[in-house]
Structure 1
């Protein structure tokens, strides 16, 4: 039986990030469908993740958002890998030791899907880069699937990301932006392959459909919103107010319920959090009984619910992924740089790029939602053809991934092609080119503000370092002064001082006497 070590941003008992969980869950399914395999999953809370996915699970190496301690931590872990025979550098209970052993006993390492290779989340970069270096040191191949890179990769992170990409067997990218940046950051050394997000092929069972049957009892539009806008362009209060306005208007103008389904929350028995709380705020502010917050669903349950939706709308990325896969018309809203890049990529993969709209365009959003409901049949038919081809292509992608990383011998398998999805027009907005320019403006503004924030953070760090250095120098000065005072207080030194003083006084007296004698002679 083969074994693979896999990392995903998953496995928290008090927080369920539906999209990340969906990608890892699909990866587990895809591996098991293709080979007899044991999976060791690196997860947030190993016990919880192990029960959830029926795999062996171990904790992360453990990195922080600050780079200095991360650099030291990485060096220590890699020193342990490379010099174990000369003595251990890590404590036996260090979580990195378990990861090293898991990789040693695996045929390959897989970095499951995500959008966390971003300098805003430096701890994720260090976690994955260190795991990759462990694999290389132990002679194990590794690959990345279903990735978004950036959009922010700071200068101090570029070397790490370069090595991570360039030394991988291949990288699966889920939008053209990431394909381009991966080739740039790896200096053209990486094998980059385009694919759809791995959650695209996640399926629901009859049990999952039964679990959401109460929510699907009447026709509905499914809406999923991130808890906050994550941009200086709009405050979170205004963001919530705008979502309340558009959901109220969509419910009024279509006559359908709008179900608010959280993507970032907590499964029972944990208490509600993040999107769940935001959904309650939006529903209350809408003043419309047809705007309804729902309970937290599992990824498969949301796939089941999406299949039955009249349309999908939201600022959550995986809302578009599930909708596109189910051939359900969707509208993606992009409030910030990060969401715009990902939303446009997901929509482009199934021809729906004209249905990605800026959040400040409430009239266009409502008009598009009403038009989509009225024209649902033709839109769904166009999406169905694109989705079917993408699913077939995605199956080939996973055949390639398994053959390349887990094949009995070195595989010559080639990654499948990536067809260009036909663009589906959006006739419900007055000028789609203006919409695109507004999305470009969102991205440009987000990039400028992110770089400005970065410079401010660097300046603050320099001030902090300068203060620390000043404090260190002051401490050294104080210690030197104390040492001098202590030295001067010793008996021998006091006696020497008295001798010196006596000598000085004698010399002064002699000079004075000489001057008196000289004056008398005159």
Structure 2
């Protein structure tokens, strides 16, 4: 049986976390005897090479909210055989035929089932709906739902989960939101992120040789461009100051490991193509932070997912505002302190840490500006042996939960009734109590005010996006109507009517 795997892969901008989750999904399915795999990708040729599987184009959706809703409706009509739904040249027809040749669909893990990335949510909804219309078994693994999910997006997410035979929520807030949106009968299970043990697997596979970066001698730092509502320059200055303080205290150099950047030709051991971009996204952020630091640092270019995961696992400590550096650090028992610039980051980052009993290591944006983030990093460094030991002890139990989830997932893909009562079980206890309570109290206080405000602002941004999308659509329809009217005015028929109008007035006068 051929299994199609939908991950957010093959994008023009390489994203380590998205690629890692799909790599992990491929590996876990192969461990369970599934060999006939097909990865749905933005770049099938690249994905064939990266994953060692068959690959085919996925179904990208437009950005404007009204357009993606309309396109989803047309795609579903096309899947029902309505040849008038879309032009014959539309990508959807080939996509439907691709899924027709499969026996099951796995939507690999991700954080894009929300209104912030609505076009990716609709892409997944379309894939699930088409697969079910074709009679395929469908499983959705390791997802963050929301936290911002508004208007028709909520209905689309509900339909997606209700059509899937099994859906995995990778943090507790997502679990509760999924149950609220789709109902308790939708087959929703609390699970871990798909790439939860990708870093250790990458180390074991030999993705670790870099003599310029000795093991345990550096702090792995990864910071994305999101800075919440903070001024960007102030944010960069504060990050540089925090990293300087940690580097001076620990005696370790800071090595910046990007997780998202454009250059892709160097990822698999080749030289960059002439003219390829050298820095953007995380790489640009890292350059801007390093330029403000007083302590020495090293900026690495984007690496492929396995190398990035392995390098993270070799660090003495991880400091990050991104999600998957946290996941890689937990797997390899590397002490980690994470900063969440906004609510979406906090749900994912704190959720990943809470799954391992270490939720207090996720701090909010205000903690960067009052010194709590740097204080927490120094405190964790001083207690690094206890923190690392706790993560190491926790790992075996989390790995058993992870393996059980993938066994359940594999059974569901073959049509067996999944164990919908499975989950993470009892969360780990015994996190080291020696950490200072000062920065923890301050961050707890920040959460009471910062997160509700961040959520309200996110909702306003999304509503603005929907309103702007409707405005663009209305403007386009107005321009089309004006164009049609002008074309009619320029037509021979209209010219003839204008010539006849005086004669009609004369005739009317005679009556």
Structure-1-length-normalised TM-score: 0.86
What residue number does 2:259 align with?
263
User: How many angstroms apart in 2 are the aligned matches of 1:29 and 1:462?
Assistant: 42
SS of residue paired to 1:40: strand
The alignment status of 1:324 with 2:320, answered yes or no, reads no
Q: 1:301: how far off?
A: 1.7
Deviations 1:217-244 (A, max 9, x none): 5611111111231x2x202222222211
SS of residue paired to 1:490: helix
User: How many angstroms apart in 2 are the aligned matches of 1:375 and 1:436?
Assistant: 21
Q: Which of 374, 387, 391 does residue 382 from structure 2 map onto?
A: 374
The alignment status of 1:223 with 2:182, answered yes or no, reads no
Deviations 1:320-369 (A, max 9, x none): 11111111111011111111111110110111111111233242222222
Any conservation in 2 of the 1:353–1:423 contact (CA below 8 Å)?
Answer: no
- Change beyond 3 A, Cα 1:497–1:324: same
Q: Which of 155, 159, 170 does residue 155 from structure 2 map onto?
A: 159
Which structure 1 segments of 5+ residues have no match?
Answer: 504-522
Q: 1:22: how far off?
A: 0.7
User: How many angstroms apart in 2 are the aligned matches of 1:460 and 1:410?
Assistant: 44
Q: 1:73: how far off?
A: 2.4
What residue number does 2:455 align with?
447
Aligned length: 493
Deviations 1:102-139 (A, max 9, x none): 32222210100100011121211111111111111111
User: How many angstroms apart in 2 are the aligned matches of 1:320 and 1:357?
Assistant: 13
Any conservation in 1 of the 2:215–2:315 contact (CA below 8 Å)?
Answer: no
Any conservation in 2 of the 1:19–1:318 contact (CA below 8 Å)?
Answer: yes
User: How many angstroms apart in 2 are the aligned matches of 1:186 and 1:220?
Assistant: 45
- Change beyond 3 A, Cα 1:140–1:481: closer
Deviations 1:57-89 (A, max 9, x none): 1112221111333233223322232227xx575
User: How many angstroms apart in 1 are the aligned matches of 2:424 and 2:365?
Assistant: 34
What residue number does 1:435 align with?
443
Q: 1:458: how far off?
A: 4.8
What residue number does 1:516 align with?
none
Q: 1:474: how far off?
A: 7.3
User: How many angstroms apart in 2 are the aligned matches of 1:284 and 1:128?
Assistant: 40
Which structure 2 segments of 5+ residues have no match?
Answer: 267-271
User: How many angstroms apart in 2 are the aligned matches of 1:495 and 1:16?
Assistant: 69
User: How many angstroms apart in 2 are the aligned matches of 1:279 and 1:234?
Assistant: 17
- Change beyond 3 A, Cα 1:452–1:209: closer
Bigger shift: 253-262 or 212-221? 212-221
What residue number does 1:47 align with?
45
The alignment status of 1:404 with 2:404, answered yes or no, reads no
- Change beyond 3 A, Cα 1:172–1:440: farther
What residue number does 1:274 align with?
281
User: How many angstroms apart in 2 are the aligned matches of 1:467 and 1:92?
Assistant: 27
SS of residue paired to 2:339: strand
The alignment status of 1:500 with 2:496, answered yes or no, reads no
The alignment status of 1:82 with 2:80, answered yes or no, reads yes
The alignment status of 1:299 with 2:305, answered yes or no, reads yes
Any conservation in 1 of the 2:375–2:439 contact (CA below 8 Å)?
Answer: no
Q: 1:280: how far off?
A: 1.4
SS of residue paired to 1:200: coil
Alpha-carbon RMSD: 2.9
SS of residue paired to 1:427: coil
Which of these two proteins has the greater Rg computed from alpha carbons?
Answer: 1
Q: Which of 407, 410, 420 does residue 427 from structure 2 map onto?
A: 420
The alignment status of 1:113 with 2:109, answered yes or no, reads yes
Q: 1:215: how far off?
A: 1.2
Q: Matches of residues 306-345 of structure 1 in structure 2 within 5 Å?
A: 306-345=312-351
User: How many angstroms apart in 2 are the aligned matches of 1:340 and 1:42?
Assistant: 29
The alignment status of 1:389 with 2:387, answered yes or no, reads no
Q: 1:390: how far off?
A: 0.5
User: How many angstroms apart in 1 are the aligned matches of 2:365 and 2:159?
Assistant: 37
Deviations 1:475-515 (A, max 9, x none): 89987999899646328x538628838x9xxxxxxxxxxxx
Q: Which of 92, 98, 101 does residue 96 from structure 1 map onto?
A: 92
What residue number does 1:511 align with?
none
- Change beyond 3 A, Cα 1:468–1:142: closer
Any conservation in 2 of the 1:351–1:422 contact (CA below 8 Å)?
Answer: yes
Any conservation in 1 of the 2:321–2:338 contact (CA below 8 Å)?
Answer: yes
- Change beyond 3 A, Cα 1:58–1:88: farther
Any conservation in 2 of the 1:426–1:432 contact (CA below 8 Å)?
Answer: no
What residue number does 1:239 align with?
235
- Change beyond 3 A, Cα 1:180–1:481: same
Q: Matches of residues 329-368 of structure 1 in structure 2 within 5 Å?
A: 329-362=335-368, 363-368=371-376
Any conservation in 1 of the 2:162–2:186 contact (CA below 8 Å)?
Answer: yes
Q: Relative contact order (C-alpha < 8 Å, sep 6+): which is higher? A: 2
User: How many angstroms apart in 2 are the aligned matches of 1:264 and 1:459?
Assistant: 29
The alignment status of 1:135 with 2:131, answered yes or no, reads yes
User: How many angstroms apart in 1 are the aligned matches of 2:146 and 2:21?
Assistant: 18
User: How many angstroms apart in 2 are the aligned matches of 1:173 and 1:426?
Assistant: 31
User: How many angstroms apart in 2 are the aligned matches of 1:228 and 1:56?
Assistant: 34
- Change beyond 3 A, Cα 1:111–1:464: closer
Structure-2-length-normalised TM-score: 0.88
What residue number does 1:212 align with?
210
Any conservation in 1 of the 2:189–2:422 contact (CA below 8 Å)?
Answer: yes
Q: Which of 61, 64, 67 does residue 62 from structure 2 map onto?
A: 64
